[in-house]
Structure 1
Amino acid sequence: MPALAFALALLLADTPAAADAAQPAPAPAADSVDAPWPAGAPRGDYELVAWCYGALRGYVDLHDEVMPEVTRIESEFRKPGTKLADDLKVYADQQKQAKADLKRFQVALTAAEKASARPINTVGAEAVKKGHAIWTVTPSTPKARVAQEWMSWTLPSRCSATADSLHKRAVLMGPAFRGNGDETPAEAPAEAPATAAAAAPDAPSADAKPN
């Protein structure tokens, strides 16, 4: 290799750009809009947030019904040096966070519905029901299985980030809609709920488990 070409090769090898090019792309943050799409969730940010609302609503609704079995499981399978009260407090804290997230999702859904030039809440209501349906099970499902599924379930990481993004975009787009003469959102059919979040089904039975 000529001396000049060899020197250039050494120079390029020492530059940050060359070093960075060899590095793999960083993985998306756990709580981001680039996180994996939840299995079974509909496509579209508005539909996804509605689905997340339904799934989380079902999780919250099951709390009182599964906690006796959760307490039994936690009592029987204790790790040395741990306290039952500490573990039960974790579930209580998770409920507080879940209820806060429900409000967060509802705010985003309502903002999107108000900003939309056409009624979309019926689409959202269907997505809410689909999300809630992950907790639908047969009456023969053992209570222990339901409790174990409930204990291990976590809100998909894409939900919160997408809700925040949807809310921001809806707020920014709202003035544009009104500025074009659309002073109020188009009215939804009379039978439609005020918002998609209002369509969450009643709590499932205690014999329910997620799909």
Structure 2
Amino acid sequence: MDIGSNDILVASDYDRTLASEENNFIINEKVAKKINEFSKRFKFIVVTGREKKFIDKLAVGLNPTGWILENGALIIYNNKEYTLCSSDWLDKRERIVKILDQLKVRYSLGKVIIYVDNYGDKVANLKEITEYANIEINRKDVMILPKGIDKGVGVLKFKELIGFSGKIIAIGDSENDHSLFKVADIKIAVANAIPQIKEIADIVTVNPNGLGVIEILDKILSGQIFLNM
């Protein structure tokens, strides 16, 4: 079966999906090479909560079709950036930052996102924050975003941006990949994914992290997955 370049879009998480924690989330050269080759024929996007300043250091040599960063809030395609937030978000974000400062938690600011590192239990259910924002949990961390923004929304916006009309294959490992799976035609969990993600996946890879992604890309290239859509 001949698969056209507009038939498949693979949307993959980064941390613990493409890159392993054991390797400090630095992309493996073998994984990067496979994705780069795959992206010459099909569409492959990285969908992550990471900010660009971090991904630039961790994913050196990785050249997918596009990037969806900050958990869906920032799209990078053809060297152009597209932010998904309302005009009043920065004012709301300033109020949220003051709350975080009072709580004395560690956080990082992206163009849109507030990433709270390892303090999820302190902020996840604060009404003072949920009044203004969407909160996504990612293991022990928390991502604070404009209401209505998540990985799934970012993928749909990317699809609209490039005029894509084919199938979406999503690959993930953790809680914030639920929204990514919601917009996918095929949901794939890597072997090291949390149980909640494995339960809703159509496929669970044999291998963990980037090796699991390579496993899936090889199956797409050989037609094994596409034939079962």
TM-score bracket, normalised by the shorter chain, equals: under 0.3
TM-score normalised by the chain length of structure 1: 0.24
The structure with more radius of gyration: 1
Question: Higher strand fraction: Structure 1 or Structure 2?
Answer: 2
Question: Higher helix fraction: Structure 1 or Structure 2?
Answer: 1
Structure having greater relative contact order (Cα 8 Å, sep ≥ 6): 1
TM-score normalised by the chain length of structure 2: 0.23
